[in-house]
Amino acid sequence: MKNILKNLLPNIKKWYFVLPDKKRHFELITAVLSIPMILTVIIVNLNTINKNKQTAIEANSTTPIQVIIDNPATNSSNTNPPKTTLKTTSTPTTTPTKVERKKDIGEIEILSPQEGEIINSDNVCINISTDSNYCPVTWSYKLDNSNWSDYNNNDICLYNLTTGKKELQIKVKSTVVDKIITLERNFTYQNSTTPTPTVTPINN
């Protein structure tokens, strides 16, 4: 802009001095009046150029970036199939809750044979009821005047009994505390085998 004005003023002076005397005043007035118009045109042109440059800069800075993703299913050049990742989930194991048993013997009873029961089977097995809420127990037994057996938790079965009344005693002992209880049961054993009579001839 400064260069244009600098070059314009000498040209106007040169042009003015070469004009005839009568036309100088008229041309001078015309030239002076035309200067604002020329300046206006120059300023408008410069503003237009600046706007075009600014638009071009903004257009370059906001150019979108295109991202192309190849589909493995449609890309014929892709010979490797897509990998499938399997995620396995482990099921947490639950630990059973340990039940705290009472440190005592609890309720113990002889279920069979019943008191005063008559038994005629070949053997007699004793059924003892214990309480699972208490600690384990062991037992020892004796029949009539026999010796006490060793302590264990095996089933008690009696074999080859003789006919008659029987007295059974059972000692129950706790495996945790020093405690023993004694149970008694009376029953009658009836041998089911009938003796075969023997006939002895009489000699005269």
**Residue 18 pLDDT class (50, 70, 90 cuts):** low
What does pLDDT average to over the chain? 77
From residue 119, give the alpha-carbon distance in Å to each of 88, 156, 165.
64, 16, 10
Query: Using one digit for the tens of pLDDT, what is the confidence trace for 78-88?
Result: 556 556 566 66
**Residue 39 pLDDT class (50, 70, 90 cuts):** confident
Cis amide bond preceding 113, omega within 30: yes
> Residue 189, class by beta-carbon neighbours within 10 Å (0-12 exposed, 13-18 middle, 19+ buried)?
buried
For residue 199, pLDDT beyond 60: no
Cα separation, 10 vs 31, whole angstroms:
13
> Which residue ranges make up each domain of the chain?
2-60, 109-189
Query: Using one digit for the tens of pLDDT, what is the confidence trace for 48-62?
Result: 888 887 777 776 665
Alpha helices in the chain (DSSP H): 2-17, 21-61
Q: Copy the structure tokens of residue 193.
A: 């085998």
The CATH number of 109-189, from 3.90.340.10, 2.60.40.10, 1.10.10.60, 3.40.50.150, is: 2.60.40.10
